[in-house]
């Protein structure tokens, strides 16, 4: 009789384990489909193309870190390029201030800031509350953060700047995070390359601003102009739409 009672218990155990395994496999498949769907959405336009070769997100992150942690590049960024880039960025930001797209009171974020030249430039033109994010922190100017998943609350910043859009594996998520953390009526400035392709670490190639206008679903395009920004030739300005108050 005891053996007869044990058999149903064993069967019940295996049934429970089987159900959990099926649920786990189903969840993994769903995640994979979501990832593939995101990639498909991002690469669906002829005006933006996701570069092939990334087997998973970890491989993408590692490739970006290969550039960011390169000791020769970091030495150049903090020595020879330091003042030169700060001076150029300062001119960009001063002009944005004259256009009332940036002010001294703007809480500002630089996305993909590496060692923080953009952040230092913001501070030098009077924007004291400025911080950068990058996969590798560079305190006190840059904190650790993935631009596909910014480590900030909703509606945090008045101003966001980035010149690393071409490094986004998922442009949809990159822009969604900007619009999430940007305050209503806040301004986003992107420097992008349209006339030339990015370096070997770029994850996407942009051929017009049309994809950007579609990606910024909660913002209005303010203007587009040509710039000379370290290999990037176009400045695109978006302003996040104000929330409509319902009575």
Distance of CA 206 to the CA centre of its chain: 15
Reply yes or no on whether the pLDDT at 199 is more than 70. Answer: yes
- At 196 the pLDDT is 76
- Prediction pTM value: 0.81
Q: Are 172 and 145 in contact (CB under 8 A)?
A: no
Long-range contacts of 118-126 (CB under 8 A, 24+ apart): 118/85, 118/89, 118/161, 118/163, 120/86, 121/85, 121/86, 121/87, 121/89, 121/90, 121/92, 121/93, 122/89, 122/93, 122/161, 124/86, 124/90, 125/90, 125/93, 125/94, 125/97, 126/97
Spatial distance between the Cα atoms of 121 and 136, rounded to a whole number of angstroms? 19
| Cα–Cα nearest to 176, from 214, 203, 222, 204 | 214
By DSSP bridging, strand 204-206 and strand 157-162 are: unpaired
Residue 18: the pLDDT is 47
Per-residue pLDDT tens digits for 25-73: 344 344 433 444 444 344 446 799 999 988 899 999 999 999 999 999 9
CA–CA distance, 182 with 184 (Å, rounded to integer): 7
Q: What does the alpha-carbon distance between residue 187 and residue 183 come to, in Å, rounded to a whole number? A: 8
Q: What is the pLDDT of residues 86-106, one digit of tens each?
A: 999 999 999 999 999 999 999
- Give the model's confidence band at 195: pLDDT under 50 very low, under 70 low, under 90 confident, else very high: confident
Element of type H or E holding 20: helix 2-42
């Amino acid at each position: 009789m005891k053996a007869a009672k044990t058999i149903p218990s064993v069967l019940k155990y295996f049934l429970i384990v089987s159900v959990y395994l099926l649920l786990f496999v189903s969840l993994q498949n769903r995640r994979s489909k979501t990832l593939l769907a995101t990639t498909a959405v991002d690469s669906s336009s002829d005006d933006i193309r996701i570069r092939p070769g990334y087997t998973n997100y970890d491989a993408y992150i590692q490739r970006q870190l290969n550039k960011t942690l390169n000791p020769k590049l970091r030495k150049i960024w903090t020595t020879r390029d330091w003042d030169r880039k700060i001076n150029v960025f300062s001119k960009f930001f001063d002009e944005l201030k004259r256009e009332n797209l940036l002010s001294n009171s703007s809480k500002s974020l630089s996305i993909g800031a590496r060692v923080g030249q953009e952040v230092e430039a913001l501070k030098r033109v009077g924007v004291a509350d400025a911080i950068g994010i990058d996969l590798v922190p560079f305190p006190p100017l840059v904190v650790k953060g993935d631009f596909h998943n910014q480590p900030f609350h909703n509606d945090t910043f008045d101003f966001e700047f980035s010149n690393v859009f071409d490094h986004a594996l998922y442009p949809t998520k990159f822009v969604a995070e900007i619009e999430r953390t940007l305050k209503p009526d806040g301004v986003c400035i992107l420097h992008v390359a349209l006339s030339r392709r990015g370096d070997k670490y770029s994850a996407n190639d942009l051929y017009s601003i049309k994809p950007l206008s579609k990606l910024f679903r909660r913002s209005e395009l303010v203007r587009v102009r040509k710039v000379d920004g370290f290999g990037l030739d176009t400045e695109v300005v978006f302003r996040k739409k104000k929330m409509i108050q319902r009575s």
